Structure formats: structure tokens, C-alpha cells
Structure 1
């Protein structure tokens, strides 16, 4: 082989080696780049997974926290409003009928509660004011919504049903709110709720009322089952404590002659009965001889409040349930007495017995000259 040919071949071999080396280096660099890329992607994916995992954990924690909060709120029955609203005139118009059937079914002391139920049902309007058509005690009319067309019968059936609920709930008296609440939800859902709530939860709560409604909706394949908020809805009309005496007094508006009050007091014939009325209402509300005395003479009532450091002069702004005394002759000897309903717009609103021989709602300017003073209830 000629020399120049050999040199030419060596040159080609050298170029080939250099090319191969370059290709190897390029490939190796590419591989490193790809490894770096895949590593970065892997880290990114891992980071996303970590974020998702942390996010799901956070979401679950938030859901649990919200659930606990909502359940706790529903379980907290301390927020039930028992003093904000009064029953309507339509409901009060049924007072004598309510008293009659309440006495018949042995829950005479629960008249204000019955009125509160009627108020929640439909405000005393319509021909089925207690909404008792679908009650099992209805034996005369169709068991469907507004099936009863006789208000008297509606009240009778509703009171009979409520009496059974109160008995099954073991309510002891008108101030036994926990057992009354159980009875009320039973009135709305049906008596079966009472046994269910006692067996599963020991009694009524707003939370288990919601659970029972949801279970029944699923069972009956319906969108509505009763009112899970029935108890607070009723109790806003049922005034306990200071409000109770006002509600009972209001239930008597329209009574003429006052015989039930002076006979209850022990008189055999009519007397001036404004103080007898106040005493009777105090007895019904459980306040008699605790925060309000039993008195027939107006001045005797004033003396009791003074002796017990519960007397305030006319400049005092009274609260609902306080006892208001009047001195018509301005001779420092009170002549008349009533119950304070509220103070609003510079006026004192009252409920008074023996106002022209009738129980009436009245109002006066707070600085009215004949207001003598107040016996404070609280």
C-alpha cells in the first residue's frame, strides 16, 4: 500500500473515533438530561401527592370539625327561646274550650302550653286549630290534613293527644322543660318518637329530632317528615318564669264578672276582684307565696312587697310580670292592682282584673299620675 493511502486511512479512523466519542458524550449528556428531567417530574409528582394527601386530610378535618360543631349546636337546647312571643287573639278566644278539655284530660295546669301548641299549628285559625286530623284519637273525620271541620272537636282531640304525650314523656309540671320538650316533639312526630328518643338518647334533643325525621323520610320515601324544630317553635310562645304569669293573665282577657277568681280565693259572693285576679294568676304560674302574695285587699299586697324589700316607686321602669298598683284618689292608699305585660314607647302595658268588671288589656304613660308603685316579681 502506498504511503499516502495509509495516511489517508489513519486520518479517517481518527475522525471516526472522534465522531464516535462525540456521539457517546452527546448520548450520555442526553441520558443525564433525561434522568434529571424524570427526577424533577418524580419530585413534582411526589410533591403533588403530598399536597393532595395533606389537602384531603385537611378537608376531612374540616368536615369532622363542622360536623361536631353542627351536632353540638343542634344538641345544645339551652338556646331555646321561651319568652319572645305571645299567642294571638284567635288562640285566646278558645281559652274556655281549652280549659274545659284540659280539665277533662287531667292537664288543666298546661293551658298555656296548649295555647302555645295551637299558636304554632296555625295561630288559632281555620276549622282544625290544633291540626289534629291525622291523630289516632280522631274517630269522626277523615284522617288527612284539615280533615276535621269542627274547631271544638279539633281542640278535644289535640288535647287528648298532648295529654298522652305528656304522660308518656313523664312530664311532672309546667316547668319541666326537658320532658315537655320530649312530649311536644312526640305530638308533632307521633308518640312513637318518645320511646325511640328515650331508648336511643335518653330523651329529646334538637339533634335527635333531626335524625328521627331523616330516618322516617328515608323509610317512607318522602321529602318531609314533621318539623325537627317543632320544640323551639312552640316554646317561643310558652313563657316560663317572668313571662309565664303574663301569658296566663293574657289567656284570661275577656272574662266578665271574675267569679272564678273570687270563688277560688274563698269568697261566697262578689267582691272587688282585681287583687283576687292577680293572686289567681300567680297561683297558676307557680309564683304564689314565692314572689307574689295571696291577697284580696290592694293595700295588703303593697304592704307585703314593702316588707319583703320588693317595692319600687312610680319612677321605676317595670319588667314583664311585675305587679302595678294604682291610687285613683292620690291619697297614698292604693285602690287597684294589675300585672305588667311590657313597657314600650314610654307606656306601661297591663292586664287587669275588675276593669269595669272584666279582665282587660290597658296601657298608660309611664309618668301617669295615678300609678302608685310596683311590686317587683324578680
Structure 2
């Protein structure tokens, strides 16, 4: 059998291009070797010639240029940043100064028209100055840095963003906003000045109107001011008394609250006339006779309203049923003593009819007073129909009676407030006001020994007989020396002379009122030896508070007809 021919494959095929048979690693190494030879050429050339190769020269130049540009860029960035910082600072400062000037102008506007004009003038000059500063700033902003080249400046600006310190840049829009705010503040300042001027004109008008009103109410304001000053002195006197200061202070606070609430109606007592004071001994005699000795101040107030103490019928009691000696027609009585007797007798009936228990029982006291004017038939009518007195039912009663009798008017519907303006003894806290005040101050000093507090207050450097100094001190604390109701005296004889000279003297044997000044004559030679303050009198006994009684402040009692009593100084409260 013929042999079968088999194709034999050679493991190393024949390749026409022998170079293509080189592995890739040989190619890569050949390339690297070529690169190394190219790099070595400059070094060999430098070693051979001693000069830089072109490649190295170019590389060095590029590096030098980069360093120079970086340094100059940083310098330019710094200068530009500094300029912008200065510019921004100037704008901020300018804004603050403008705001400060506007604030000052606004404050000046509240001080008045003239002050506003001056401040506005200053504000205007400051605004002009600021405008000049801004013009200077704008001129400075036109000065540009001389750039090395356009590329250098451009590069510097780029560098500045990266390296320069952060600066708040005021945009044109923000600058315009600041200008608008400044303009608004300026307009507000001018508007405030105009408002201040108008307010000043209105204030002047109000002041003129207040002056007129004050002129018409001067008496009432003066009375209230005097009462307030007197009350303050009484408070300090009570607090300074010593023991029980906390309790006294609490009582005083309550007294102030009650007294202040009551002052507006009944405590603004107007002074009594000299004629009424002259009738006081007669009033005291008949109030004791008819069982109402504590109502002396009320009778004085009624007399002030009826006649001021003048005429032959000071109590206007001719129409009273107790008048049996003269016709029952207005002003018919021709004897002042008889008028006072009839009036007090009738008023005692009004007090009992009204159920008034004391001069401090104000609701019933008001009812009794209106009954004195209308007749005690009003008291029965008011209790039955309204439960007591009121200004409204007083007016109603007057209108009904006038219509029933065909008269144009009947009595005085405002008789109660008219009388109470002269009465200072009412109210729960009468001890702090009116004729009880000096007694309260005197009692607060009970127990004081030696009297140094009083004679040193008067001005003496050493001890003296200090009974008169004590009375004067109490009167001063009550505001009575300031009002002229009591003199400042250190000798009893001087006190007697003053009261007698003022027509305010009450003879011994009569019933004194609370707060009167009592003078004593121990040896009966007609010269006063001692003085004190009347606390009260029950018709038979006089109760007093005296300084220098056994060299101390003490309370004493005397029979009303005691031969030691020389007389009394009447005090107009």
C-alpha cells in the first residue's frame, strides 16, 4: 500500500518580515532608550560646551516668568484689596455719620422748635461735609494703578480672588439704598421738627387754658396742697415717735388711703372767718347745753355757709319752730346769741332724727345737714323713700316742694357740699386731718423727757422751760405755723398776746374745742405760766397734752372751771 502523505505543521511558521517577529517588550525598551539618549544630549553638550541647552534655557525662563508673575500678582492683589478696603471703610463711616446726624436731629426735634432748628442746621452742614467727603472719595477712586501689562493685571485679579483678604464690597445698588435711607432720615428729621413746633404751639395753648382753669380753682388746689403737706408732717411725726413704729406706720398708711379718698369731697376745708371764730365760745356753750358738744366744728361750718358769722341772725334760724321771740321770717332775729341758741337747738333735733352717732358718721351727718336747710321733714322723707341722703334725692325733694308751693325754688339742693367745704373734722381719720391732727402729733410725743428735741428745734443751745416750744413744734408739724393759724412762740405771754390781738381768744370757763391752745396762770397774777393743747372736753373736764409737765410730755385733766385756766387760743383749721 502506498504510503499516505501527511501534511506536517511547523511550530515556527515562516514570516516574510523578520522585524515583525520582535516582541513588544523589545519595541518599548527601544523607545525608552531613544528618549534617554535625547535627554542625555543636552547634558553632554553642556559638558562639552559649558552652556545650557536650548531646552533647559526655555524651561528656566518659563519657571522664572511664573515666579515673577506670581510675586507681582500678589503685590497687585494686595494693593487693590487695600484700596477697596479703604474705600469700603470710608463708605461705612460715612453711613454711620449720616445716621448719627439724623438721630441727633431727631432728638433735637423733641426738645423744642429752637433746639431743632440748631440741630437741623448742624445736620445740614454735616451732610454737606459728608457730600464733600464723598466727592473726594470719588476723585480718589478715579486714580488707577499702573499695570505692568494687561495680562499681569488680569492674572492679579484672578490671584486676588484666591489670596487677598475678604473685603465686603458695597454694590451700586446697596449704595443707592444707603442714599435713599439717608434721604428718608432727613425727611423724617424735618417732619419731626415740624411736629415739635406744632406740639409746642399746642402746649402753649394748653398752658394758657390750664392757667385760666388753675386761676378759677386756686382756692381748692391750695387747700388740697396744704392738707397734703400737713398730712405728710403728721406721718413723719407719728413714725418718729418711737415704740410701736410698725403699727403706727400701718395705721398711717390706712389713714392716707382713706383720707386721700375722702379729701376730694370733705377734707378740703376752707378757713373759718374771724366772725365765726368770735362766736365759738357761744357755740360751745349751747352745744353743751343741748347735748352735742362734739359738734362744734359742724356748727361752725353751718354758720360759715349761712352768714359767715355776720349779722344779727348768724345761724339764719328765724324760721325755726324754736324761735318764739321774733317773727318766723328770714332774718327776723336781731340777737346773735339767740340766733345761735335757736339754730343749735334745732340742729340737735336733726342729728337725733337722722340717727347720727358722731361727727364722723358722714352718711347720717349729711342727712342731718340737709335737714337743717330743708326742715327735718326731709329727713323722714329721705329715709322712707331712699334710705338716706343723696344729692339726687336732695334735688328731687327741692323740685317737688317748689312745685307744691308754686315757688321757683326751694332751699339749697347742694347745701351739704357747701357746708362740708368748711368742715375738716369728719371722716374716719380725723386724727390725721383738721383740729384732731395737732392732738395726734402731740400724743405721739408722750413719754419724751427733757424736751431737747423741742427746744433745740426752736433754736436754743441749752435747756429752757420748753412747754411753749413743744406747742410750737406740734403746730409746725401740723402746718399751722405756715398757714398763720398759730404763732411760733417760746414764751407763754407772747402766745397770749398774739391770740388776743388776732381776736382768737376764748375766756376761761367756756368749753374748748379739740386742738385749741390752753394757757394756764398758776398764781393768778394775770400772766400765763404754762401752755398745752386741748385733747377734748366733755362739758365738765378738759383733757390736755402738755410739754414740760414734770419735764416730760404728759396727758392731764382739769375741771372746766379750774382757776388755773387762763383761757384758750382758738385755732382756725
Q: TM-score, normalised by structure 2?
A: 0.36
* Counterparts of 2:366 and 2:309, CA distance in 1: 21
Structure 1 residue 175: Cα displacement: 1.2
Structure showing the higher helix proportion among its residues: 2
3-state SS in 2 of match to 1:356: helix
Would the aligned equivalents of 1:121 and 1:130 in 2 still touch at CA under 8 Å?
Answer: yes
- Alpha-carbon distance in structure 2 between the residues aligned to 1:220 and 1:89: 38
Q: What's the offset of the Cα at 1:293?
A: 1.0
Given that 1:326 and 1:334 are in contact with CA atoms closer than 8 Å, whether structure 2 keeps it comes out as no
SS at match of 2:266: coil
Q: 1:127 and 2:312 equivalent? A: yes
- Asked if residue 157 in structure 1 is aligned to residue 157 in structure 2, the reply is no
How far apart in 2 are the matches of 1:168 and 1:301? 50
Secondary structure of the residue that 1:111 maps to in structure 2? helix
Give the aligned CA root-mean-square deviation in angstroms.
3.7
CA shift at 1:356, angstroms?
2.5
Which whole-Å CA distance do the structure 1 matches of 2:495 and 2:483 have between them?
21
Return the offset for 1:301. Answer: 9.8
How far 1:334 moved relative to its partner? Answer: 8.3
Alignment of 1:59-208 (within 5 A): 79-208=264-393
Give 2:458's match in structure 1, choosing from 301, 313, 327: 327
Note the 1:1-378 alignment, pairs <5 A: 79-240=264-425, 248=435, 285=436, 292-293=442-443, 299-300=448-449, 326-331=457-462, 335=466, 336=469, 337-338=471-472, 339-340=475-476, 342=479, 347=482, 349-351=484-486, 354=492, 356=494, 358=496, 360=498
Against the structure 1 CA distance between its residues 132 and 350, is the aligned structure 2 distance closer, same or farther, given a 3 Å change threshold?
Answer: closer
Matched residue SS, 1:351: coil
Taking structure 1 as reference, are residues 79 and 116 closer, same or farther at Cα in structure 2, changes over 3 Å only? same
Distance 2:396 2:450 in 1: 51
1:200, 1:287 → 2: CA distance?
41
**1:81 to partner: Cα distance:** 3.4
The C-alpha deviation readout for 1:18-76, integer Å capped at 9, x for no partner, is xxxxxxxxxxxxxxxxxxxxxxxxxxxxxxxxxxxxxxxxxxxxxxxxxxxxxxxxxxx
What CA distance in whole angstroms lies between the structure 1 residues aligned with 2:269 and 2:406?
36
Question: What SS does structure 2 have at the residue aligned with 1:80?
Answer: helix
CA distance in 1, matches of 2:284, 2:359: 15
Q: 8 Å contact 2:402–2:410 — kept in the other structure?
A: yes
Per-residue deviation, 1:185? 0.1
Assess if the C-alpha contact under 8 Å between 1:83 and 1:239 holds in 2. yes
Unpaired segments of 5 or more residues in structure 2?
Answer: 1-261, 502-573
Q: Deviations over 1:234-273 (max 9, x none)?
A: 000000368778754xxxxxxxxxxxxxxxxxxxxxxxxx
TM-score by length of 1: 0.53
2:551 match:
none
Instruction: Name the residue aligned to 2:546.
Output: none
In 1: Cα distance, 2:310 partner to 2:303 partner? 9
Q: Is the 8 A contact 1:185 1:231 kept in 2?
A: yes
Is the alpha carbon distance of 1:164 and 1:204 closer, same or farther for their aligned partners in structure 2, counting shifts above 3 Å?
A: same
Given that 1:99 and 1:111 are in contact with CA atoms closer than 8 Å, whether structure 2 keeps it comes out as yes
Q: Which has the higher contact order (CA 8 A, sep 6+)?
A: 1
Residue 486 of structure 2 aligns to a residue whose secondary structure is strand
Rate the CA distance shift 1:349–1:226 in 2: closer, same or farther, 3 A. same
Higher Rg = 2
- TM-superposed deviation, 1:82: 2.7
1:184 Cα shift?
A: 0.2
Structure 2 distance, partners of 1:324, 1:208, is 55
Match of 1:265 in 2: none
Q: Is the 8 A contact 1:142 1:148 kept in 2?
A: yes
Partner secondary structure for residue 422 of structure 2? coil
Equivalent position of 1:11 in the other structure = none
Q: Distance in 2 between matches of 1:176 and 1:286?
A: 18
Work out whether residues 181 and 204 of structure 1, in 8 Å CA contact, stay in contact via their aligned partners in 2: yes
Partner of 2:462: helix, strand, or coil?
A: coil
Find the aligned partners of 1:234 and 1:324 in 2 and give their Cα distance: 40
Deviation at 1:349, TM superposition (A): 3.4
Shift of 1:358: 2.0
Give the 3 Å change call, closer, same or farther, for CA 184–223 of structure 1 in structure 2. Answer: same
Q: What per-residue deviation string (whole Å, max 9, x for no partner) do you get for residues 80-119 of structure 1?
A: 2332301100000001111000100011111111000000
